[in-house]
Structure 1
Amino acid sequence: LLETKTNEMMQLQQERLVLINKIRDLNEQHANLFNTEEANDGEVYDVLWLSTEMFASGGSDKRVRLWRVDHPVSILCCQSTLVGCNHSVTRLDFDPESRLLLGASNDNGVRLWNVDNQRLMTSFMGHTDKVSSARFLSSTQVVSGSNDRLIKIWDVRSQRCIRSVFPGSTILDITGIKKGVATFTSGHFDRKLRFWDSCFSTFLVEKLIVYHLFCIDGIHLLCSTRDDTLSLLDVRKYQTVHIYSAEHYRTSTDLSRCVLSPLMAYCAAGFTFSFPMLKYITLPFSRHAVFSLNWNPSGHGLLSADKQKTVCFWK
């Protein structure tokens, strides 16, 4: 267990909120809040960069909004609003090849929009309970997990479900894996992390109390767990590389996200952890639970979304 020591902490007054300083710079005075915006008419459950200048947000107002960051002053401008969901949007994913944006919803469905013309392309309906997570496995396949304890594989071209798997436990999150035997991983309410192969059969189960999963390079898998730690796994060996903890860190909710920076210098989830030095940083701003985080693909800049409608852009 790798644990932050008291004399290594860099801490400000507000301890609950997430955020970030510049890559390779642990001095808190360099962490700047560039802008905030009331992103949705309700809780913002997920934010996702679509490019280095454009991102999407979704939440309890049933809508997905597309935003652009205008440089150099980093003003957040809402470009368009995507509709089609009948309940909260819980999870977003994007396929840059097809230019399709994926949204999981509490109305038991998954939606696909084209971000170029803002059209709703299709709705995948078939789950009997809230869809907690949905991801692109490829440009032509989508995987979704639900509170109905089913994992479904959808074909984008035929717009049909081509496979259903019943792991027997509520799915909290799903993420794709690009390298190794497994094609995707699912975290469950029964405290297990399941790896799935191309035949959609589980071949390995890890006993982790998982809230959220994040895989950035197809090799390293970051898990936010119910014991208020972050676990970093190597999916090639299916072994835990590190467990990160901090004295005041608490996982906000089942919806809380964790992320790795593009250069693998930091992981973030409520606090920001530095891999090389095992320090964590807190920055003061919001007093509300942070639901989602997403690092800019360039490595410079972090989005955070919270319970009170707000998206913050940190750089």
Structure 2
Amino acid sequence: MEISSKKWFDHIINEFDIRDKKKNYCTEYINEIQKLQEYQVECQSNKEEITKLNDNINKLYISLGKKQSEIEEQKDINKHLNEELKEKNDIIKYLENMKIQNENEIKKLNQKDIDNKNLCDKKNDAIQVLQDEILALKLELTKTEEKNEALKNENEIWVKQLKDQANKFAQLLNEQNAIVESSKKPNIGGNSNINFKTDDAFGSNITHKIASKIPVNLYSKITTNGQVNCMELSNDAKHICVGIDKKLFIYETEIGRVKVSLSGLVKEVTSVCFNSNNSLVLGTSFDKSIRIWNINGSSKDVLTGHTNKVSAAKFSIDNNIISCSQDRTIKLWNINSGSCDTSIFTHSSCNDLDLMDNSGNLVVTAHLDNSLKIWDMHNKKLIQEITNIHSSPVISVKTSPTGNEILSLSRDNSLKTLDIRMYNTLLTFRDDNLRTFNNSQNACYSSDGKYAICGSGNGSIYIFNTFTNKKEKVLKQSR
């Protein structure tokens, strides 16, 4: 009984243990069930969220479809833009090429503008010359009107003198005819001594030494890189000074090689000149100055004072300089001090000058009013004005080697030699093809005075004989 009770107690205990265990198991299951219920609740809420997410996903798919459509449209737009960009790039390349071409064209136009400006300056100088010429012509017209009255009064006197001379000539002709008739008769009185004597314009016997010769073939040719404006041969004939554009070039005559190049003038050269011992050379210019160099090329001095183009200048024997200008003045310069000692107003623009003596006391000038004028530089006065020689401006004047004649060249396409004591015309040289082409053209004598030489606008050189008054030769180098 006791044992049974114990067993029963144990049994009860076991039952309780089992119950406790089951209870624990139930608790775990309950916890699990609660968790499952909570998970179910969560899943229920998640399901709602999933539904919402699905809705959002569907909306996103719809938006994605729209975006894809927009992307496709944008791709088409981008493709079109790329094509336009390519076209724009081609246009840009074309414009860049056009820009390069335009820049080159602008450079050409700028150079052309510079050339036109230089041409304009030349034309302005020419206009100034023409204005001076017009003024000179007005002055000449006034003088002509004044002289016209005097000429009318003198005309009657000249007519009377002409009649007297005609009567004398007729009487002389009768006497000569009588002599001829008597000479046909036999000579009874023995031999006659006949002496023929020829006098020149000044009454002295003519004695000429012919030293110069007319060239037959081209001796040498010098090619320059610019326009030749003027030139002069040195006194010893070893060098030629040539004015080309704005520079002077001294060539050795034997080989035609440049010895030295002289620069410093701002505008074109108008004349050049050596001094008596060939140690100095000068150049005059449109820039209104006279520049002097040593023969070795070093610059010596610059003379300024003229207010217009300096047409020409010459060295005197003592190295002073006499110049003439379009400003209607002649100036005497002291080369040591570089100052102007004498200035004479000429009333007409000067185209050229030459010295009538080595000292430079007597100077002859050529003028736009068709006249030649002889000046006493020492006393600053006009000795003689020679008019009615040419019908157009006189552009060149040279004194003969003998010093008793003047050679003048005019725009009327003629050369004349004049007696400097009687102031009248000795010879006139013309040719149908001889043309003076500007106011800077020159004529000259040969070294012995036998020939007068002049260039022409047609490229030829005309040589006239001052003894026979004939055209000796026309030199023209074939191109």
Could you tell me which of 133, 137, 141 is aligned with 2:320? 141
SS of 2:449's equivalent in the other structure is coil
CA distance in structure 2 between the partners assigned to 1:48 and 1:268 by the alignment: 14
Letter in 1 for 2:231: V
Letter in 2 for 1:120: S
Measured at CA, do residues 120 and 224 of structure 1 come closer, stay the same or move farther in structure 2, by a change above 3 Å?
A: same
Are positions 1:67 and 2:251 aligned together? yes
Q: What does residue 300 of structure 2 align with?
A: 121
CA distance in structure 1 between the partners assigned to 2:304 and 2:267 by the alignment: 13
CA distance in structure 2 between the partners assigned to 1:251 and 1:225 by the alignment: 7
Q: What does residue 226 of structure 1 align with?
A: 411
Please say if residues 230 and 242 of structure 2, whose CA atoms lie closer than 8 Å, have aligned partners that are also in contact: yes
CA distance in structure 2 between the partners assigned to 1:286 and 1:86 by the alignment: 34
Which deviates the most, 118-127 or 242-251? Answer: 242-251
1:181 offset after TM fit, Å? 11
Based on CA coordinates, which of the two structures has the bigger radius of gyration? 2
After superposition, what is the alpha-carbon deviation per residue over 1:118-167, rounded to whole angstroms, capped at 9, x for unaligned?
21110000111111111123323211111111211111111101111111
Question: What TM-score comes out, normalization by structure 1 length?
Answer: 0.75
Identity of aligned residues (%): 27
Letter in 1 for 2:477: F
SS of 1:282's equivalent in the other structure is strand
1:239 offset after TM fit, Å? 2.7
Please say if residues 211 and 226 of structure 1, whose CA atoms lie closer than 8 Å, have aligned partners that are also in contact: yes
Q: What does residue 471 of structure 2 align with?
A: 279
SS of 1:169's equivalent in the other structure is coil
Note the residue ranges of structure 2 that are not aligned, 5 or more in a row.
Answer: 1-210, 456-461
Q: What does residue 33 of structure 1 align with?
A: 218
Which deviates the most, 83-92 or 276-285? Answer: 276-285
CA distance in structure 1 between the partners assigned to 2:354 and 2:478 by the alignment: 28
CA distance in structure 1 between the partners assigned to 2:372 and 2:316 by the alignment: 18
Please say if residues 137 and 183 of structure 1, whose CA atoms lie closer than 8 Å, have aligned partners that are also in contact: no
Please say if residues 133 and 144 of structure 1, whose CA atoms lie closer than 8 Å, have aligned partners that are also in contact: yes
Please say if residues 241 and 248 of structure 2, whose CA atoms lie closer than 8 Å, have aligned partners that are also in contact: yes
Are positions 1:212 and 2:393 aligned together? no
Please say if residues 276 and 317 of structure 2, whose CA atoms lie closer than 8 Å, have aligned partners that are also in contact: no
What is the correspondence of 1:1-315 to structure 2 with a 5 Å cutoff? 23-24=212-213, 31-39=216-224, 41-50=225-234, 51-60=236-245, 62-70=246-254, 75-97=255-277, 99-115=279-295, 117-178=296-357, 183-197=362-376, 198-207=378-387, 208=389, 209-217=393-401, 218-270=403-455, 271-277=462-468, 278-285=470-477
CA distance in structure 2 between the partners assigned to 1:155 and 1:188 by the alignment: 24
CA distance in structure 2 between the partners assigned to 1:236 and 1:66 by the alignment: 37
Question: What TM-score comes out, normalization by structure 2 length?
Answer: 0.50
Measured at CA, do residues 114 and 180 of structure 1 come closer, stay the same or move farther in structure 2, by a change above 3 Å?
A: closer
CA distance in structure 2 between the partners assigned to 1:98 and 1:37 by the alignment: 21
1:77 offset after TM fit, Å? 0.7
Please say if residues 92 and 101 of structure 1, whose CA atoms lie closer than 8 Å, have aligned partners that are also in contact: yes
Measured at CA, do residues 130 and 286 of structure 1 come closer, stay the same or move farther in structure 2, by a change above 3 Å?
A: farther
Which deviates the most, 78-87 or 181-190? Answer: 181-190
Paired residue total: 255
Please say if residues 414 and 430 of structure 2, whose CA atoms lie closer than 8 Å, have aligned partners that are also in contact: yes
Higher relative contact order (CA 8 A, sep 6+): 1
Note the residue ranges of structure 1 that are not aligned, 5 or more in a row.
Answer: 1-21, 288-315
